[in-house]
Amino acid sequence: MNIAVIGTGYVGLVSGTCYAESGNEVICVDIDPNRIAMLNEGKVPIYEPGLEELVRRNKAEGRLQFTEDTAVAVAQSMVSFIAVGTPPGTNGAADLSGVFKAAEQVAKTVTGYHVVVVKSTVPVGTNDKVREIVTRNAKFQVDVCSVPEFLKEGSAIEDFMRPDRIVIGSLSERATAILKEIHAPFVRTDNPILVMDPRSSELTKYASNAMLALRISFINDMANLCDAVGADINSVRRGLGADRRIGSSFLFPGIGYGGSCFPKDVQALVHTATEHNLDFALLRAAEAVNARQKRLLPFRVKQHFGENLEGRTFALWGLAFKPRTDDMREAPSIVVIDELLKAGAKCQLHDPEALDNTRTLLGERDGRLSYHRLNYEALHGADALLILTEWNEFRHPNFQRIKAELKQPVIFDGRNLYDPDLMKALDINYYSIGRKPV
């Protein structure tokens, strides 16, 4: 089938590439000429494992194209997926201007029956507004549907090609049949295609991310309680996760969630509830816990070294909000770095993929931030090491080399990567989350 994807950000590029990989002919559109030029050269502007290889292969085999011209893409397609960004506004509401503009452009350029699919994460009722825009501007019959994405950065290709479920929000049998056909290759193992009304599909996306955010905030608060009473969060987590009604996913304590989805979607859901005179106190509490958790490691550092960190230098391993991505949006590392700098410290930063994005975001801060391609290089002369992201290459480091590079053997582990018994055997002062310090 011929498909247009409007927007080549994270969701649009992954979606368009995976639709092409399953045999469709896909044209991806973006208003950024530099981005389109880069993609036409086979270069991917984001880091996502496996994506660049798929883009190059499908482009070489003629199934994937990139253009700035929406009209050209839509004219060649029966289905247009809108996958533009919906950033949060100052009040927490999602900015839908990009979605509405894309819908209008598509509607004005359709040349026959067409299906417009909103894949961007949007508040309840957006599909209705898009349908109004399309009806007002289209000269042909156009059905408007929703197919929300459920991708995890770092495993987006796998998530798209083998989803737990596909959700289709549709009021049209014709459009539903077309969308089922497009998505059938991804559910050959009998995972469900769930067809529902568009408002329910829009809310399903927000509800999914909000539930995961709640689990993360819950286990982080439990970790803090373990600290207070002398319990071990790893033992509590295993006992909790063994209950089949609960499960173990997203019950790993740390320094808070970040990224482009959880913070934005939780805020948007709270805002939607407020618009309908409802107080989503549970989600507001999850936000508060997450904000507090991001400041936990600097608090521990100050407990160990004192409130004034003038003259201190700290090595930070891991900057992206999660491993296997270069995404710095809402990353806990930003808060950690700001807190350390405010206390007078310097930071030596390392991340396998997010170093350039961090430099662009934070700069040099008058020479108080330095950037290091090699993880051990970042350790040299530092007073302590802080682990902020659980990259695999950090899980089994050379601890003797860490001790040799640091001024003193101190590790603040925000992801509980290391065994406290091993740290004790190696004479390393070790602070983790929800476990007794060594």
Domain-located, residue 438: no
Query: Are residues 284 and 301 both part of a single domain?
Result: no
Query: Are residues 167 and 133 both part of a single domain?
Result: yes
In degrees, rounded to 5, the angle at the alpha carbon of residue 370 between the alpha carbons of residues 367 and 375 is: 165
Query: Are residues 172 and 220 both part of a single domain?
Result: no
Query: Are residues 427 and 308 both part of a single domain?
Result: yes
Please indicate whether residue 347 is annotated as part of the active site: no
Buried b (16+ CB within 10 A) or exposed e, 365-394: eeeebbbbeebbebbeebbbbbbbbbbeeb
Query: Are residues 19 and 94 both part of a single domain?
Result: yes
394 lies in which domain range? Answer: 294-431
Domain-located, residue 437: no
56: CATH: 3.40.50.720
Query: Are residues 151 and 114 both part of a single domain?
Result: yes
Query: Are residues 323 and 177 both part of a single domain?
Result: no
Domain-located, residue 125: yes
pLDDT tens, position by position, for the chain (438 residues)? 999 999 999 999 999 999 999 999 999 999 999 999 999 998 999 999 999 999 999 999 999 999 999 999 999 999 999 999 998 877 778 899 999 999 999 999 999 999 999 999 999 999 999 999 999 999 999 999 999 999 999 999 999 999 999 999 999 999 999 999 999 999 988 899 999 999 999 999 999 999 999 999 999 999 999 999 999 999 999 999 999 999 999 999 999 999 988 999 999 999 999 999 999 999 999 999 999 999 999 999 999 999 999 999 999 999 999 999 999 999 999 999 999 999 999 999 999 999 999 999 999 999 999 999 999 999 999 999 999 999 999 999 999 999 999 999 999 999 999 999 999 999 999 999 999 999
Query: Are residues 35 and 118 both part of a single domain?
Result: yes
Q: Which member of 18, 226, 261, 347 is catalytic?
A: 261
Which of 135, 166, 196 corresponds to the end of one domain?
A: 196
Count of domains observed in the chain: 3
Domain-located, residue 436: no
Query: Are residues 174 and 273 both part of a single domain?
Result: no
Query: Are residues 38 and 78 both part of a single domain?
Result: yes
